[in-house]
Structure 1
Amino acid sequence: MLTERLELRAFLPEEAEELLELRLANREFLAPLEPVRSDSYLTLAGQRTEILQSEKGRVRDQAYVYAIRLRENGQLLGRAALTGIARGPFQNASLGYFLDRTHNGHGYMTEAARGIVELAFTKHRLHRVQAGVMPRNAASLRVLEKAGFRREGLAERYLKINGVWEDHILFGITIEDWKGKEEENDVR
């Protein structure tokens, strides 16, 4: 998918080295925001495995992982994923993402989140997308709000992040919310 400034697409196996470089460059920056990873995760083999697992998730309709790239030069800026896909009466996925620290503050993640939500509702036929953010992660809170998500509540000790059980503010958006925002934008 192309947005105004970005390309969102599945990772290719040959992009493992590039993904590893991005992960290593952002290791310290992301550590307070992510689960503790094994040493093998931040290796070329670990990133190859990550890409292969994401491909299996796509084939099984369980997860969709996207590279976030600049349209102008193809530079890899980050990753966004719809995971934990539930079908049946729920039709839901969880959104997770990260962006290279040098590209924060330019609206790229908001643009990517909007694109992923569009893919969730149009291509993947989901009804709802949810996300959780630690209360101290102000930048990510803004991304979700700007992307049209609504705050749904606080989940105490929701995820183990950097070795600590952290509270998360839960957000959600449904296809009805998204269509309403789209219609609002068309009127303007």
Structure 2
Amino acid sequence: MPLHTDSIYLRPLQEKDVDELLELRVRNHPFLQPFEPIRPASFHTREGQQEQIEQSIRDFANDRGFAFGVFLQENEQMIGRVALSNVVRGVWQNATLGYFLDQSHNGKGYTTQAVRLALQFAFTKAQLHRVQAGVMPHNIGSIRVLEKNGFRYEGKSLRYLKINGAWEDHNMYAITAEEWTL
């Protein structure tokens, strides 16, 4: 299934992506840290990113998660990552959406496009029924990405995730297959 727009494309992360993913993570660490957990120093090493990619390959093969690199069409540069994780089958058919984009490419609509493509995969190829996302209330840009993709606000989860060393509240958003439009 092609997952692309005129500007970007998604593809599953591969072992050959390790150096580009590491460079992206290291370059954007100061920008992303306020929105992420504090990770061990090994995370920002080649071995740490190789481990992340290997886990994403195993998750993809076992239907537990689907991590994609976000690439520019014009030069095939990796500019981010979008993932459907914590896949639960059975009566729920749900996944949790997460994403990040290179700071230098923010504000161009790429994140909105990447999320739209991930939803296309979720509701067609992966046959999920529901995708949810948690966003800190002050992360207005991320909230807009979700709203533009048809997510609805479901409520606030207090002290939901430990982000940057503190337990942060998150606004919960979701979309189901019935609400999704291509």
Normalising by the smaller structure, the TM-score range is over 0.9
The correspondence of residues 150-161 of structure 1 with structure 2, limited to 5 A, is 150-161=152-163
Q: In structure 2, list runs of 5 or more residues that go unmatched.
A: none
Amino acid of the structure 2 residue aligned with 1:9: R
Q: Select which of 4, 7, 32 maps to 1:5.
A: 7
Is 1:108 paired with 2:110?
yes
Identity among equivalent pairs (%)? 51
Amino acid of the structure 1 residue aligned with 2:90: G
The correspondence of residues 1-188 of structure 1 with structure 2, limited to 5 A, is 1-178=3-180, 181-182=181-182
Amino acid of the structure 1 residue aligned with 2:139: N
Q: Displacement of 1:12 after TM fit? A: 1.2
Matched residues in 1 for 2:109 and 2:4: separation? Answer: 15
Q: In structure 1, list runs of 5 or more residues that go unmatched.
A: 183-188
Q: Displacement of 1:83 after TM fit? A: 0.3
SS at structure 2 position matched to 1:97? strand
Q: Which residue of 2 aligns with 1:186?
A: none
Matched residues in 1 for 2:17 and 2:132: separation? Answer: 28
Matched residues in 2 for 1:86 and 1:59: separation? Answer: 14
CA RMSD of aligned residues (A): 0.7
1:41-72 deviations in Å (ceiling 9; x for gaps): 00000000000000000111000000000111
Aligned residue pairs, count: 180
Amino acid of the structure 1 residue aligned with 2:68: Y
SS at structure 2 position matched to 1:26? helix
SS at structure 2 position matched to 1:35? coil
Matched residues in 1 for 2:131 and 2:87: separation? Answer: 9
Q: Which runs of 4+ in 1 moved over 2 A?
A: none
Matched residues in 2 for 1:137 and 1:13: separation? Answer: 31
SS at structure 1 position matched to 2:90? coil
Q: Displacement of 1:148 after TM fit? A: 0.9
Matched residues in 1 for 2:81 and 2:52: separation? Answer: 12
Amino acid of the structure 2 residue aligned with 1:143: V
Q: Displacement of 1:4 after TM fit? A: 2.6
SS at structure 1 position matched to 2:99? strand
Matched residues in 1 for 2:166 and 2:42: separation? Answer: 21
Amino acid of the structure 1 residue aligned with 2:102: D
